Structure 1
């Protein structure tokens, strides 16, 4: 099974070779994988930023505990959840459903109303957690795709989201940074690549 082989090859890259760049073709493939990711109700209540510009990444590095991966990697990818969710987002989804599949929206009114009611009962904290969780599904698809393409990655939660939002002016766009990942190619000097992968035995995970 190729996926298992890819996951055996993959590791969290700590030091990237800054001279090597992920091609535009492969970036487009990664974007397609993220676009096809599953999400709750299919709403995809998040945006994804792919940042290559070094000057901007230098600013973000200071908000990432000065971790070198931010600037050494080929690209920095940010997953940003919607800060607020309203009924228009659900309407947009069903409009897209109509345009894509030529379905009668009237037949989906009951389902649309159900989603709106479900979301309206959530507190803001619950909405934040819910929309943030969706980005991790897309992140995992990104990581798996990178492994298949032999692109190295480092998923990261070690950053100051508020500073990211400020630097990138995300709050005014109804967005908040949830999780990030650096993608590129490992440096020969990254000793982590030689470490044995440590995972619990299968019998200790499954009940």
Structure 2
């Protein structure tokens, strides 16, 4: 299939085949795709929690408004943001740049100083909103990769983040959940798989100047 065919093939899967797990190779592909997501300033203030254990996932259904995708999918991916973003994140990023690219300190210093100033000038709410937008970028990237790899998924905002955070003890890792993305393979009797996509004509969504 072409990439457009793949994007037409994908849909928000409502019913997964719980007997068909993703391979380790497929899971690794999704992990690497998440890690390679484009993020603002190159700062990776996100983490992805991969939940394979069905007992754990069963306990999360009540906090997901009863949506069975959470447990019936092969794996549940939870995109999280850091509760705190500060100059240490900047320092760690530039340490990695220096180590990987062997860039001299005098070249990095101006950009590092500017980035620290930007982060320090953000309110806590602005940092949370900023990081949350990065999580949506990551989700979009994962959805496209899943379409290309013919992996089904269901992007979800419909859950109670505070309850999920508590159930998984995410505060221990300094994280808060933002989005969930069950992944696996569609059930043969998921009626939504055969629904035609409803989209506006391209002429209504694209402006050419």
TM-score scaled by structure 2? Answer: 0.96
1:150 Cα deviation after fit: 0.8
Which residue in 1 is equivalent to 2:163?
Answer: 163
1:172 Cα deviation after fit: 3.0
Query: Residues 25-71 of structure 1: CA distance to partner in whole angstroms, max 9, x if unpaired?
Result: 11111111111110000001011111110110011111101101001
Which residue in 2 is equivalent to 1:203?
Answer: 203
Task: Give every structure 1 segment of 4 or more consecutive aligned residues whose post-TM-superposition deviation is greater than 3 Å.
Answer: none
Per the alignment, in what secondary structure is the counterpart of residue 156 of structure 1?
coil
1:106 Cα deviation after fit: 2.9
| Structure-1 separation of matches of 2:180 and 2:105 | 36
1:139 Cα deviation after fit: 1.1
Query: Residues 47-104 of structure 1: CA distance to partner in whole angstroms, max 9, x if unpaired?
Result: 1111110110011111101101001100000110111111000000000011111111
| Structure-2 separation of matches of 1:9 and 1:188 | 14
| Structure-2 separation of matches of 1:118 and 1:38 | 19
| Structure-1 separation of matches of 2:202 and 2:106 | 48
Equivalent residues in 2 for 1:71-90, closer than 5 Å: 71-90=71-90
1:161 Cα deviation after fit: 0.4
1:94, 1:105 within 8 Å by CA — same for their partners in 2?
Answer: no
1:116 Cα deviation after fit: 1.1
Q: Flag structure 2 segments of 5+ consecutive residues without an equivalent.
A: none
1:104 aligns with 2:98: no
Per the alignment, in what secondary structure is the counterpart of residue 155 of structure 1?
coil
User: Does 23-32 or 99-108 show the bigger shift?
Assistant: 99-108
1:6 Cα deviation after fit: 0.7
Q: Flag structure 1 segments of 5+ consecutive residues without an equivalent.
A: none
| Structure-1 separation of matches of 2:78 and 2:131 | 14
1:126 Cα deviation after fit: 0.9
TM-score scaled by structure 1? Answer: 0.97
Query: Residues 136-190 of structure 1: CA distance to partner in whole angstroms, max 9, x if unpaired?
Result: 1111111111111111110000000001111111123211001110100000110
| Structure-1 separation of matches of 2:20 and 2:110 | 51
Equivalent residues in 2 for 1:58-77, closer than 5 Å: 58-77=58-77
| Structure-2 separation of matches of 1:123 and 1:2 | 44
Query: Residues 113-151 of structure 1: CA distance to partner in whole angstroms, max 9, x if unpaired?
Result: 111111122111111010011111111111111111111
| Structure-2 separation of matches of 1:48 and 1:177 | 9
| Structure-2 separation of matches of 1:174 and 1:32 | 22
